[in-house]
Amino acid sequence: MPFVVRFFKGNLLLGSAHVDMKSTLIELAEEAGVKIPTNCTSGTCGTCMVKLLEGEVPLTDPLPSGLDEYLVEQCARLSCIGIPIGETSVDLTPPL
């Protein structure tokens, strides 16, 4: 059974797409018809920040400049570089 990533805004499900283990959250959102704002597309600016609700979107080491330890503790991920592995749900409202 394929894994799915679900995109929420609060309690509202905006769309979903099948996880292919190589596409970023931005690419999967686009496939699902969900618009996530972007700017740099390299993890630098934080414009595309989302909140991880469930699942796993691994972080790089060192953290990209668009994230810090506090934001990571709040489950922040950058959707321009974040690649989900397995069943995942994210909220488009960033954890700020």
Q: Give the confidence band of 94 by pLDDT, cuts at 50, 70, 90.
A: confident
Q: pTM to 2 decimals?
A: 0.94
Looking up residue 62, the CATH number of its domain turns out to be: 3.10.20.30
pLDDT at 1: 67
Is 96 domain-assigned?
Answer: no
Name the residue range of residue 20's domain: 4-91
Is 22 domain-assigned?
Answer: yes
| 33-65: pLDDT as tens digits | 999 999 999 999 999 999 999 999 999 999 999
Q: In total, how many domains does the chain have? A: 1
Q: SS3 letters for 27-84?
A: HHHHHCCCCCCCCCCCCCCCCCEEEEEECCCCCCCCCCCCCCHHHHHCCEEECCCCCC
